[in-house]
Amino acid sequence: MNFPELSVLRPDLAFIAHWIPAGSQVLDVGCGDGVMLDYLQTDKACSGYGIEIDDARNAWRATCR
């Protein structure tokens, strides 16, 4: 995923992701479906974890690394 795709999909997350420097370590509390972590990992070479309390989304949480 690249920045234009993130901007269309979730402009609110694109605004936040813009402020995170490349290569950062990120803890995404309330990561939801993980779209922002996906962008940060693939486009900005960040590493991180996502925490989501919603049971319907917990299966994805393990892959938010």
pLDDT at residue 26, rounded to an integer: 94
Which residue positions in the chain have pLDDT lower than 70?
55-65
For the chain, the maximum distance between any two Cα atoms, rounded to a whole number of angstroms, is: 30
Quick check: pTM over 0.85? no
pLDDT at residue 27, rounded to an integer: 94
Contacts of 13 (CB under 8 A, 6+ apart): 6, 35, 36, 39
pLDDT at residue 57, rounded to an integer: 59
Structural domain including 40 reads 3-61
What is the number of structural domains in the chain?
1
